[in-house]
A and B are shown apart, each in its own frame.
Chain A
Amino acid sequence: MLTKNALRSFCASGLMMAAAIGAASAEDGVLRVGTEGDAPQFSMADANGNVTGFDADIANGICAELKVKCKFVVQTFSSLVPSMDSDRFDVIISGLGITDERMKKIDYSIPYATTPQYFVVSKDSPFVGLKSLAEIEKALAGKTVGVVNGTTYAQFIKKHIPTADLKTYDATTQQNSDLAAGRLDAAFGDSPTWVDFLSSPEGANFARIDVKVTGADDHEALGYGMGVGLRKGNAELKAKLDSALCNMINNSKVKAASENWFKDDYTIQCK
């Protein structure tokens, strides 16, 4: 593989140069949190890189429990798992669903919350009155369905509506603006995202199909609820995260955050 070697050796020399230019050494007492940053209600970055939302509350709660400082690293959802692998941050807190597929790649804390998922369509759409998942699967065959790239929702649509024309977006907000622009027949995502979108001016003409989809419909594709993602094999960090989350669940901090951002309690109890 000539090209591969050339590329590698070149990059290695580039790295050495750049590393020699100097970089800050690792800070103690900081937990670096990878998060999406443009997922309404979950993770919203402002102009200064501060993150607010449910994910931010969970992260800050964990950091308070562990007595460390949270440092948010904001990037696209689909790049979170590969980037944690490359040590850009220590944990992922970004409404990350726990799935068998992802568990091969990363470890998880205990699940702390689960949100139901819905299909959203235009109010004038013939699909708006569908009554069951089976009906939706049939009706959306061959239609354009939007999801965020790399999410469990993408897996779910691929498996359940294989003929759908699946559009994958780098960001939730891009998906929503395409839905609003009328480029999608339907979009699939979690309840909080839709609460936010449907209450915004651009979502005024849209409604969710009243069929709640949960992990119970398909654990394999949709997973087991949201957990904090961490690199494989860090048992010490996992134990710390688990006990921090369990405390937050028991003293209703998770419930408070969920009710604050989602107007509903989606906590999964700690066993």
Chain B
Amino acid sequence: MLHGIWVLMVEKGWLLALLRGAGITLLIGFLGVVVGLAAAIPLAILRWRQVPILSQLVDAYSIVIRGVPGLLVIYLLFFGSVDWVQRIASAFGYADSAENAYPFLIGIIAIAAISCAYSIEVIRGALQAVPIGLLEAARSLSLSPRVTFSRVTLPLALRLALGGINNVWQMTIKDTSLVSVVGMQELMRAAAVAAGITRSPLLFYCLAAAMFFAMTAVSQVLFNRAEKHFNRGFSRG
């Protein structure tokens, strides 16, 4: 039994395949969160300022993505995006690179599109939670609205958003497993192929679960440290 597992894992190289998949999972997850967050900040500001029309559009986007299963969003992007992604890419002279990086790109876009919707809510909530007194203080110092925003509101809001961003990250890491259903070679897909070929689903899916668990657990520890760091100078409670 143990020998059999050793043969599968090491001699046949499936453990390495799973670890490689885990690396891709982390990469997709990380890029997905970063791209999602980068897009979410301006969108959340639009929403927070209640810019007419645009703010409703952002709302509609966020409601649809958060209300619809991730699997569906991924099917849409993997199967339906094709023509226009190609068109846009070639219009900007990226036809070749887009073609080569396509699967990875769509994977990241799909994951970013989902994480972005959640990040919008987190950042909007944080912007609204910035204490009004601080803003009044800034105004009384006759700081311009722009300076107030960039120097007071945004930094404070990002600190407040940290917990929410951690939640988005944890959720995103788990969501990356969904891109496996369209054949992207991340951890879950590596486990599915291994399970199928070696006919040992229990072993490989449990192993995948353990690896996902390790990722989320380690990032939780790192986050707790980061939180301590960012909360320097703020009293608790």
A and B touch in the complex (CB under 8 A): yes
Measured between C-beta atoms, what is the minimum distance from A69 to chain B in Å?
Answer: 15
- Please tell me if B112 contacts chain A, counting CB pairs below 8 Å: yes
Main secondary structure of the interface of B (DSSP, over half): helix
Question: Judging by beta carbons under 8 Å apart, are A79 and B58 in contact?
Answer: no
Measured between C-beta atoms, what is the minimum distance from A177 to chain B in Å?
Answer: 6
How many residue pairs link A and B with beta carbons under 8 A? The number is 144
Measured between C-beta atoms, what is the minimum distance from B8 to chain A in Å?
Answer: 9
Which A46-76 residues have C-beta < 8 A from chain B?
46-49, 73-76
Per-residue contact bits, chain A 191-214, to B (CB 8 Å; 1 contact, 0 not): 000000000101000000000000
Question: Interface size class for chain A?
Answer: 35 or more
The interface size of chain B toward A, counting residues with CB under 8 Å, comes to 57
Measured between C-beta atoms, what is the minimum distance from B189 to chain A in Å?
Answer: 8
Contact for A10 among B61, B82, B108, B199, CB less than 8 A: B61
Question: Judging by beta carbons under 8 Å apart, are B96 and A14 in contact?
Answer: no
Decide yes or no: A46 and B101 within 8 Å by CB, A11-B109, A25-B96 being known contacts. no
Which A73-94 residues have C-beta < 8 A from chain B?
73-76, 79, 82-83, 85-88
Neighbouring A residues of B35 by C-beta, 8 Å: 14, 17-18
Question: Judging by beta carbons under 8 Å apart, are A15 and B89 in contact?
Answer: yes
Contact for B199 among A17, A73, A202, CB less than 8 A: A202
Q: Report the nearest A residue to B32, measured CB to CB.
A: A14
Question: Judging by beta carbons under 8 Å apart, are A171 and B196 in contact?
Answer: yes
Question: Judging by beta carbons under 8 Å apart, are A8 and B39 in contact?
Answer: no
Neighbouring B residues of A10 by C-beta, 8 Å: 39, 43, 61, 113, 116
In the assembled complex, 24 residue pairs joining A and B whose CB atoms fall closer than 8 Å, in A order, are A2-B56, A6-B57, A6-B58, A6-B60, A8-B84, A10-B39, A11-B85, A14-B112, A18-B31, A19-B89, A19-B97, A19-B105, A23-B98, A23-B101, A38-B192, A44-B197, A46-B12, A48-B16, A49-B17, A79-B182, A82-B78, A86-B82, A86-B106, A177-B199
